[in-house]
Amino acid sequence: MAIPSMKQLLSRNQLQVAQTDFIAALRHARETAVITGKHTLFCPTRDGSSCSAETRWDNGWLLGHDADRNNQPDHGALYTGAGYAGKLIVSSSNGRRFVRFGPDGSASGSNITLLFCQRSKPQQALSVVVSNAGRVRGAPASSSEIAECARME
């Protein structure tokens, strides 16, 4: 009798862990930019050494300095994060595929939203939003984001 509710609890916990992981990594990227005084890139990666030009972050992320602003880490990744491929779908806004924090902590450009979904339970989706000012916050997904999760493969 308790097994279905336990599965739902574990499923929800997996989303929350992924959301918390990304929030911590984004905050670390912002702090790195401020402390070092260098533009710092946070982007999806497939190989752990270069940024991919995708909106999917399932395979992992990397953090690196990007002084030449070519959307690739200058001298390799400073940090990388494991992906959630096969477990979760992590996707960013179409218009924005990476975050670049400036030395003042801002993340110029449009806001970016990272969406965390499970194929079987799109209604449990969560999001992480990075504002132009560099503020990072987590939230439950909106109804339109939940609908987007339901369409993702």
Tell me the CATH architecture of domain 3-151. 3-Layer(bab) Sandwich (3.55)
pLDDT of the residue at 15: 93
Strand order in the sheet with 89-92: 89-92, 112-117, 126-130, 136-140
Taking alpha carbons only, the member of 108, 89, 111 closest to residue 44 is 89
Write down the pLDDT at residue 114. Answer: 95
The domains of the chain are located at 3-151
pLDDT score for 85:
87
What pLDDT, on the 0 to 100 scale, is given for residue 121?
A: 87
Handedness of CA 27, 76, 106, 55 (dihedral sign): negative
Query: Position 127: which residue type?
Result: S
Whether pTM exceeds 0.75: yes
Q: Tokens representing 30?
A: 């912002």
Low-confidence ranges of the chain (pLDDT < 70): 1-12, 153
Determine if residue 41 is left, alpha or beta; phi over 0 gives left, psi from -120 to 50 gives alpha, anything else beta: beta
pLDDT digits (tens, 9 = 90+) for 15-33: 999 999 999 999 999 999 9
**What is the Cα–Cα distance from 90 to 83, expressed in whole angstroms?**
9
3-class secondary structure for 60-129?
A: EEEEEECCCCCCCCECECCEEEECCCCCCEEEECCCCCCEEECCCCCCCCCCEEEEEECCCCHHHCEEEE
